[in-house]
């Protein structure tokens, strides 16, 4: 009595690559269809233009609240009562004023919230909170 027939061994050792070829051809067709053709079919004389210099990037305005509650606007110490007028002055110089608020991790949240309220009262709409990435 035979344990395994000769034909059973042959079918196990052969690899049917027909489905792999089908997959390869389907992927090839998809890549051909989805690539955009280069548009050089007509000879055109395009108009010329002067080189335009980019506008300089806007100056970032920083408000820093240290762990003791001190408030600095662009590295200058400011009393909390003077914060709103200082922000209003910056806003008149730059109507599209953006502020980056940097608060120490030990600063009470109420102090940072008060600075946010002062920014809102001075009509500063663009406020970002600075954070450190997690390592």
| Cβ(81)–Cβ(120) below 8 Å | no
- Distance of alpha carbon 116 from alpha carbon 128, whole angstroms: 10
Reading the block at residue 73, the tokens are 């606007």
Residue 5 scores a pLDDT above 70: no
Mean pLDDT of 27-40: 79
Q: What are the sequence ranges of the domains in the chain?
A: 61-129
pTM: 0.56
Q: For residue 73, how many other CB atoms are within 10 A of its CB?
A: 19
Q: Which fold has domain 61-129?
A: Nucleotidyltransferase; domain 5 (3.30.420)
pLDDT reading at 2 higher than 60: no
CB atoms near residue 66 (< 10 Å): 15
Q: Vertex 92, ends 80 and 89: CA angle to 5°?
A: 25
Query: Is there a contact between 126 and 99 (Cβ–Cβ < 8 Å)?
Result: yes
Residue 81 phi, psi (nearest 5): -65, -25
Tens of pLDDT, residue by residue over 99-115, are: 999 988 888 888 999 99
Residue with tokens 């089908």: 22
Closest CA to 118 of 95, 70, 94, 85: 85
Q: How many CB atoms within 10 Å of residue 102?
A: 17
> Quick one: pLDDT at residue 6?
59
Mean pLDDT of the chain: 82
* 3-state secondary structure at position 122: coil
């Amino acid at each position: 009595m035979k344990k395994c027939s000769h034909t059973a061994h042959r079918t196990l050792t052969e690899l049917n690559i027909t489905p792999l070829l089908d997959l390869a051809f389907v992927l090839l067709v998809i890549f051909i269809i989805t690539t955009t053709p280069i548009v050089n079919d007509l000879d055109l004389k395009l108009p010329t233009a002067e080189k335009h210099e980019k506008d300089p990037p806007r100056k970032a305005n920083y408000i820093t609240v240290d762990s003791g509650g001190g408030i600095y606007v662009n590295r200058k110490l400011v009393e909390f009562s003077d914060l709103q007028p200082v922000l209003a002055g910056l806003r008149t110089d730059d109507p599209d004023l953006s502020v980056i608020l940097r608060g120490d991790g030990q600063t009470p949240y109420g102090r940072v919230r008060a600075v946010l309220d002062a920014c809102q009262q001075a009509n500063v709409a663009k406020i970002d909170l600075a954070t450190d990435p997690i390592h």
